[in-house]
Structure 1
Amino acid sequence: MVLWSDGSDSSEHTVEYMSSASDDGTIKVPASTEDSDFEGPEIDMYVLCHGHGKAAERRVAFEGIHIGRGFLCCAEKEGKNCGLVEWIDPSWPNTLENALSKLWSMYEQSKRDRNEESLMHSFAVHDLTQEKKKLQAGYEKLVEEEKYDTVKNLAAAQATVIRNMKLKLAEETKNLQIHIDELKKTVEESNVKLEGIKAIING
């Protein structure tokens, strides 16, 4: 990253950013991006943070109209961070700030749209999941009903077969009895004839 100066006092730029102070009075540290040319502790100028007296940390802003500007901030990782120490790079020209502001608004709107789309997608997935559960329950119920109907139909078919077999057996039994009666009658008639023949012979 190329650092430059327009002759203005860096403290002026620090004050410029104080509108981003949090409710507890801590000055917000701008969001930053990685830059191998401007990172780590500030050892050249040896600038100390206000609250801890430690060497400030180099960062490059990635936020709003300050994108690309180098700044120094408190390097405290634990406990209360005393926030921004000072800007290293001066503010961008007004025309560029306006362009960055518009681009950042578009970026933020895009994030909101993606979040809203993701939320709607989550709702849709939830609705589809619930619908899938209902369909699964309906399918399982249908399968159970199908099994019940199959067993019921099978039992009815078996009952019909048994009933038909009983009717057929009864019919065959009746026919067999008739045949037996006819045989008995024939035997009786034969016996009568035989007795007649015996009487003629013995007479």
Structure 2
Amino acid sequence: MVSWSEDDDSSESEHGRYYQYSTSGSDDGIVKIPATTDDSEFEGNDYVLCHEHRKRAERLVAFEGIHTGRRFLACAVKDGKNCGLVEWVDPSWPATMENALSKLWDMYEQSKRNRTKDNLMNSFAVHQLTQEKIKLQASYDKLVGDVQALLDENERRAQMERKPDESKLQEKYDMVKNLTVSQASVIRNMKLKLAEEKTKLQAHIDELEKVVEQTKAKLNGIKAILDE
């Protein structure tokens, strides 16, 4: 929407970067049309012709930099070469007003940069948590597979033994039983750990969504100030 670059030198004059659309043109001398906002009260039967096409100029209201709120006339041609801003209807704002608009747009641009940075950091955090969850799930699946393989092997060996005496059979049974109980405990603990990690991940995601909503609220507040 705005015309200045985020990399502007901080040593510029108070409003230097906001004059681009009113004092400088393109290479062919055309003054570019600033971003605009709607204003249903800006009407009238009188009209002015644009410079190049000699067609009735369009009535617009600036929504950019220190010109925010100023009415102007601009070339209405949408297809092909537009001959740019025709003339300002309103004079330049007083220096105090320009200074206030300058600061508001600075706040808006800084808010956008902060939101972009926060979204990037949040994306990294969600990605890392997702990868950790995948690793935990893989470890759990492997553990379940190992326990099942061990039980299958014990069962196979028991079937291969011929005429085991009662004491050996009981000993093997107790060993398998104890092993099964131990492995079941490990699996249960792993499930609890995965559930805790899932809860933490969901809580973090909810927190990130709150941050995004708060950021949107701040931007809406700034836009509401600018629209007043």
Report TM bin, short chain.
0.5 to 0.7
Alignment-derived partner of residue 48 in structure 1: 49
In the alignment, is residue 30 of structure 1 matched against residue 34 of structure 2?
A: yes
- The alpha-carbon deviation at position 162 of structure 1 amounts to 5.7
* Alpha-carbon distance, 1:115 to partner: 1.4
1:122-173 Cα offsets, whole Å, 9 max, x none, are 22223233333333333333332233223223334444686348x99xxxxx
Aligned residues: 150
Counterpart position of 1:17 = 22
What is the CA RMSD across the aligned residues, in angstroms?
3.1
User: Shift of the alpha carbon at 1:101?
Assistant: 0.7
Corresponding residue number in structure 1 for 2:75: 74
Equivalent residues of 2:21, 2:33 under 8 A apart? no
Greater mean alpha carbon deviation, residues 71-80 or residues 86-95: 71-80
| Aligned pairs (5 A) from 1:91-106 | 91-106=92-107
TM-score of the superposed pair, with normalisation by structure 2: 0.55
- State the 1:103 CA deviation: 1.4
Consecutive unaligned residues in structure 1, runs of 5 or more: 1-13, 169-203
- Normalised to the residue count of structure 1, the TM-score between the two structures is 0.61
Q: Taking structure 1 as reference, are residues 106 and 152 closer, same or farther at Cα in structure 2, changes over 3 Å only?
A: same
Deviation at 1:25, TM superposition (A): 5.5
C-alpha displacement of 1:16: 7.2
Aligned-pair distance for 1:26? 4.6
**CA 1:23–1:143 in 2, change beyond 3 Å: closer, same or farther?**
farther
Task: Tell me what 1:134 maps to.
Answer: 135
Cα deviations across residues 90-136 of structure 1 (Å, max 9, x unaligned)?
11111111111111111111111111111222222232333333333
